[in-house]
Chains A and B, each alone.
Chain A
Amino acid sequence: MGKETSKANDKKLRNIKFRNRLGNLIPKIMIAPTFTVSLVCVYGFILWTIWISFTSSKILPKYDFVGFEQYNILFTQEPRWWVASLNLFIFSGLFIAICIALGLTLAIFIDQRLRGEGVFRTIYLYPMALSFIVTGTAWRWIMNPSLGLERLVQQLGFSDFTFRLLVESNVAIYAVVIAAVWQSTGFMFALFIAGLRGIDNSIIKAAQIDGASLKKIYLRIIIPSLRPVFLSAVIILLHLSIKCFDLVMALTSGGPGYSTDMPATFMYAFAFNRGRLAFGAASAVIMFITVMAIIIPYLYTELKGTRNAR
């Protein structure tokens, strides 16, 4: 009898071991397709782009080798590239800062149990639903001096009023910021209000009992505890600003001149419209390296920070 049971136990044990091993494999198997696809379609294509950037490809890919020629032209002979880079810098900085500030402010406001919360929420959120093409077209109208806001206010009797953001090449990038903020603030608002409502109330109550002022509660307790939300917000906004393509196309087409060109539109124009595929690829590679140089350290510190906090 004892023998029998030990044999059965053995079998059971082996079974469990097998199942454990299988169990350990399943997660990996489940991830495998995503991993493979990402390896090929993200990283493989990045490598392909790097390769192309060292060739002399014109309208279609050509697999020769010309060394760093395209990069050389990009950095030494293309004033437009510097305009585009500077624009991305200005744009992403302002866009991320304003969206977060405005989104957080609105979230705090709405969190005060305003009447009509649902209405406010819908109004703040709806721009997210619209495509950048639609947004761009609408804002282009509003900011056009002879059709939009300027004419409207002048008709109201303020004949000196000017609103020339969209048409002056040195400030037109701010017009892009306004439209982009309009589109994306709602999402930030949603993230922050979600974050605010997720905060443990007992801490706040304790602080209130201690007699801390409202301002202090927000600055010292609530906002710091929203740190993970800031992380998500920055990642999403940075991702949007790097890909900012449709909006620029619809709002300014890169103009006046090429003053609102962005790396994404720059790359597209050169690689696809001007038959300088290799050159466009070189600009994309630089863009990607820059983004990685910013995002990896940020992700590293932030993720590490949250893990330690836990």
Chain B
Amino acid sequence: MPGKMNVMVGEKSPGMIAGRIIVYTLSILAAVYFLIPFFVMVMTSVKTLEDIKSGNLISWPREFTLDAWIKAWDSACTGINCEGVKGYFFNSILMVVPSVAISTIIGAVNGYVFSKWRFKGSEVLFTFLLLGCFIPFQIILLPMSGMLGWLKISQTIFGLALVHIIYGLSFTSLFFRNYYVAIPDEIIKAAKIDGAGFFRIFWKCILPVSAPIFMVVIIWQTTQIWNDFLFGVAFSGSESQPVTVALNNIVNTTTGVKEYNVDMAAALIAGLPTLLVYIISGKYFLRGLTAGAVKG
């Protein structure tokens, strides 16, 4: 890794020590800003309803209880079925796994072509694909449902996954292309002289060095797709709703008592997988970015 030796404030001199204190203070302040909402959510989810109504945001629970978590998982009503979010959780997994896998693989191949097998017009194509990122997704809801109906896959997890793959492609291609641009062309040229073809070079020269960028793209796509609500609500059927839709059903009661602790617990459960992905593999995410994903 090239950046191990960083530019840093030298030690010893009093001015430098003061600078270091300031840096620490500000970093910690920023950390507090980032942590407060999470703290509030966790606190709320382990309080009783009375406790929430009488206390304030960050007050410590008088009575610690996991009832809200159990209810959110197992028995909160998301319609007539009061079975919590657990079934929807499984739907989300079924949707996320194939769509992340497919969009990542296709993105890798696209990125490989756009960086190492440029042809006349490939730059234009790339820009064309990139601009696709900028359409507001609301406009595609209706034509897309017409298309899914035509393909006879509307209201299925498969249809939903397909939509995620399609609209994830521009980003995955972008990430891979930017990463592969940094790989020296000479390696590819040498391989070509040796008689290696498109796939052989991809398999032998490109894939072995792609682990960091795969991490970045997989993390990015997983978060995006897992957290999506708009597609999830518009393209799912009664048996294929993802967890975000279930969360919405729990949080948005039209009439009746609002159970904030259950709402927060459900929100945390819905966010847990992506949260874990970041906490566990955040290091690889950074490493992948460092390895070149962000170079223009």
A84-124 toward B: CB 8 Å interface, digit per residue (1/0)? 00000000000000000010011001111110001111111
A196's partner among B3, B24, B106 (CB-CB below 8 A) is: B3
Contact residues in A for B119 (Cβ distance below 8 Å): 24, 27-28
Q: Main SS of chain A's interface residues?
A: helix
Q: State which residues 255-296 of B face A: CB under 8 Å.
A: 263-264, 267-268, 270-271, 274-275, 277-279, 282-283, 285-286, 289-296
Q: Is B113 an interface residue (CB 8 A)?
A: yes
Q: How large is the interface on A (under 10, 10 to 19, 20 to 34, 35 or more residues)?
A: 35 or more
Which stretch, A1-9, A69-77, A291-299, touches the partner chain B? Answer: A291-299
Q: Is A172 an interface residue (CB 8 A)?
A: no
A125 and B136: CB pair below 8 A? Answer: no
Q: Is B247 an interface residue (CB 8 A)?
A: yes
Given contacts A131-B227, A141-B57, A142-B40, contact A194 B278 (CB under 8 A): no
Q: Is A287 an interface residue (CB 8 A)?
A: yes
A41 and B37: CB pair below 8 A? Answer: no
- In Å, the complex CA distance between A42 and B170 comes to 10
- In Å, the complex CA distance between A105 and B130 comes to 28
Q: Is B137 an interface residue (CB 8 A)?
A: yes
Q: State which residues 1-32 of A face B: CB under 8 Å.
A: 19, 23-24, 26-28, 30-31
B57 and A46: CB pair below 8 A? Answer: no
- In Å, the complex CA distance between A178 and B291 comes to 31
14 additional A-B residue pairs with CB within 8 Å, beyond A127-B37, A288-B136: A33-B106, A109-B23, A113-B6, A114-B24, A132-B229, A185-B34, A196-B6, A197-B1, A218-B7, A242-B134, A267-B138, A284-B136, A292-B134, A306-B296
Interface of A toward B, CB cutoff 8 Å: 19, 23-24, 26-28, 30-31, 33-35, 37-38, 41-46, 48-49, 60-61, 102, 105-106, 109-114, 118-135, 137-139, 141-142, 147-149, 151-152, 155, 182, 185-186, 190-191, 193-201, 204, 208, 214, 217-218, 222, 227-229, 231-232, 235, 238-239, 242-243, 245-246, 263-264, 267-268, 271-272, 277, 280-281, 284, 287-288, 291-292, 295-296, 299, 302-303, 306
